[in-house]
Amino acid sequence: MITQIIERLHRLFSRVNRCNRGLICVINSARAKRVPILSLLFFVILSGCARAPVKIKKETTLPPVKIEKETALPEEMSSIGNSRAYAHYLMGLIYDNQGKLEEALGEYEKALEFDPHSSTILISLGKYYLRRGMVDESRQKLRQAVQFDPDNEDAHLLLALICELQEDIEGAAKHYEDVLRLTPQDVDTYHRLIALRLLLSAIYEEAGKLKEACSQLKEALRADPDNDLAHFYLGANLDKQSRMEEAISELKKAIQLNPKNAEALNYLGYLYADKGINLGKSIQLIKRALELKPDSGYIVDSLGWAYFKKGMIEEALAELQRAVELTKANDEDDPIIRDHLGDAYLRKGMVREAIEQWEKSLELDSANQEVKTKLKRARESLEASEFENSDAD
């Protein structure tokens, strides 16, 4: 389960935007590409889970603790209401750092018995359950923490993560909004705020709320006008809203700010190719992206598609075949790339091969009506050709 959580986190921060060819888009309607939004490490830092653990040797023995009712608690433990709860909570932290998870759980639960309303204890239990892959139990504890401490930023951030894991996009957006509301608007949180706005924009995109996503990106750019990622995501968002000229402008800004932004180079190049405009510039942009990411099957596909649109069918076939092999090698077999290869085969008169690619495309995305229509026509054409040949015999 932990592996699944980590994989989900990587998917979370590697948004896959799909071309608007009958597919559900995550970020934009122009291109199927993996787009880095935030790294897993940065998310962990945001969530407060990356604080350096207390280094305690396994052989450490603790002196007996004399607990008095009036014992003052450290400021960071101020949500723990009494000394007994704090003592058990502290032991839970020690066991946790030693990797003695069962003992840690026992101490956290005892701490909660003495102070059932402590958000600190509830959040620690929530993190414990999440590390063990017990997502439902984690969500329950974190919800309780929010109930008793509505302005607890850590609880909202972890709940947002869990909502993502459970495909609850609306819930994730709500909790990220709370995190954004609770984050101080000052110089110390500058980068954090921008990252949160980028993340929240992606959540809104996934929920189909394009205008809300656009607003978050524009807020990020007000704070940091030279953020090439924000310009890139805004360009993708505007493209999905069919605001092509504005999208192109934002993508150009992203490239101007960061000429090594491979995703922006590829996106703009593919956008040109898909619209059948500026094909020479399209190929130039995509080749620049490939210099930066030579093994990206998606970018190779973009180049193949640009060649196809330019009428360079032999070159298109070579690149599209290579794109299929690259994505298959990374377990990322893609329906759009298969569709493109089918188009190229058909243009060459290789109907059987085109049919094979469209069949594979539909295996990966059975809802694509355009591919279904092409496949139906190709099968009818092949049957008619075979019938004519049989009559001739």
CATH code for the domain in which residue 294 is found: 1.25.40.10
Cα angle 181-205-223, degrees, rounded to a multiple of 5:
45
Q: Is residue 220 part of a domain?
A: no
Q: Which pLDDT value is given to residue 79? A: 67
Coil, strand or helix at 47: helix
Coil, strand or helix at 35: strand
Q: Which pLDDT value is given to residue 190? A: 76
Q: Is 340 exposed, middle or buried (0-12, 13-18, 19+ CB in 10 A)?
A: buried
Q: Is residue 361 part of a domain?
A: yes
Q: Is residue 202 part of a domain?
A: no
Q: Is residue 153 part of a domain?
A: no
Q: Is residue 357 part of a domain?
A: yes
pTM over 0.75: no
Q: Which pLDDT value is given to residue 187? A: 63
Q: Which pLDDT value is given to residue 215? A: 95
Domain count across the chain: 1
If you write DSSP's letter for every residue of 100-154 in order, what string do you get?
-HHHHHHHHHHHHHH-TT-HHHHHHHHHHHHHTT-HHHHHHHHHHHHHH-TT-HH
Q: Is 294 exposed, middle or buried (0-12, 13-18, 19+ CB in 10 A)?
A: exposed
Q: Which domain holds residue 312?
A: 286-393
Q: Is residue 225 part of a domain?
A: no
Q: Is residue 168 part of a domain?
A: no
Q: Is residue 333 part of a domain?
A: yes
pLDDT by residue for the chain (393 residues), tens digit each?
334 444 444 444 333 332 322 222 222 223 333 233 333 333 433 333 333 333 323 333 333 333 334 344 444 455 677 889 989 999 999 998 898 999 999 999 999 999 999 999 999 999 999 888 899 999 999 999 999 999 999 999 899 989 888 888 889 889 988 988 888 877 667 788 888 899 899 889 988 899 999 999 999 999 999 999 999 999 999 999 999 999 999 999 999 999 999 999 999 999 999 999 999 999 999 999 999 999 999 999 999 999 999 999 999 999 999 999 999 998 889 999 999 999 999 999 999 999 999 999 999 999 999 999 999 999 999 888 776 666 555
Q: Which pLDDT value is given to residue 310? A: 97
Which residues are bridge partners to 36 per DSSP?
14
Q: What residues have CB less than 8 Å from 115, skipping those under 6 apart?
A: 80, 81, 82, 85, 121
Residue listed under structure tokens 């935007």: 17
